[in-house]
Amino acid sequence: VEDSADAGISVNTNSNLILSGNLKVPDGSLHVINESGQVVVIPEDEIGVEGDPEGSYRIANGEIVLEATGSVTCGEGAAIFGDSPEVVAGGSVYLLLEGDKGELNIEAGENITVTAFSLDNKSSRLNVGDVVSGAGDVVIRAANGILGAAPFIQGNRIELDANKGEILALGEESDFVTINSDILGTGGVAARATTGIALTEDVGDLKLIAPTAWAGISVVATEGSVQLDAPLGSIRDAVYE
């Protein structure tokens, strides 16, 4: 499905929602008609301080909202382009989506798995709002960063993988991504980044678990600092060998 109107895409079903094809909405990119008469997109980092060039235009951002009493799943070969969606699911959520396209918010009853990609292989980052599982695990893979103004992530096992970026809050009040992990008593958190990680556990102990999304240390920033906080509990090693 591709939508060029302001309204975006909204789907609500009383069953499972399986995306068998791509969902695409405008992302507010700058367009211009070149000398050959073709419409091309100008990357934001190529726009000068003088602003949008003469003759260019933008299509307003579209929004994607997906709601299902069951699961929400990107089928094989399907992905979401142009907007980080709002998702509410009674079951699990599995998404493949274009990174750096607005705030991602997910509420699910079971497992949540999100993988970000980018066409330029430089902007596979996610701006996270609330990603909340009521009774499952959360895995977020975004190579160039897992960020947000005030991110909140809840699940039993939480695995955050930003192996070419950082895992931080970018708001004015705190650098820390707030997590509520181990909600079933059998989980914890693992995180991987390059330039920095800052996590604070919202409820009780912060347990460090063995990752399944990568091999190695529970929490690691290869070229930066790691900050862990558990104001209402302890920081514990939950890797049992």
pLDDT in tens, the chain (241 residues): 544 445 589 999 999 999 999 999 877 666 566 666 665 665 555 555 556 666 665 666 789 999 999 999 999 999 999 899 999 999 999 999 999 999 999 999 999 999 999 988 888 999 999 999 999 999 999 999 999 999 999 999 999 999 999 999 998 778 999 999 999 999 999 999 999 999 999 999 999 999 998 988 999 999 999 999 999 999 999 986 5
CB 158 within 8 A of CB 186: no
Residue 144 Rama label (left phi>0; alpha psi -120 to 50; beta): alpha
pLDDT at 225: 95
Exposed, middle or buried by CB within 10 Å (0-12, 13-18, 19+), for 60? middle
Model confidence pTM above 0.85: yes
DSSP bridge pairs for 138:
112, 158
175-196 b/e (C-beta count within 10 Å ≥ 16 → b): ebbbbbbbbeeebbbbbbbbbb
Residues 6+ apart with CB under 8 A from 213: 139, 141, 159, 161, 190, 192
Q: What are phi and psi of 44, to 5 degrees?
A: -60, -35
CB 179 within 8 A of CB 128: no
Q: Distance (Å, rounded) from C-alpha 189 to C-alpha 163? A: 16
CB 57 within 8 A of CB 31: yes
Q: Distance (Å, rounded) from C-alpha 107 to C-alpha 13? A: 15
Order of strands, edge to edge, in the sheet holding 30-33?
39-42, 30-33, 57-58
pLDDT at 109: 98
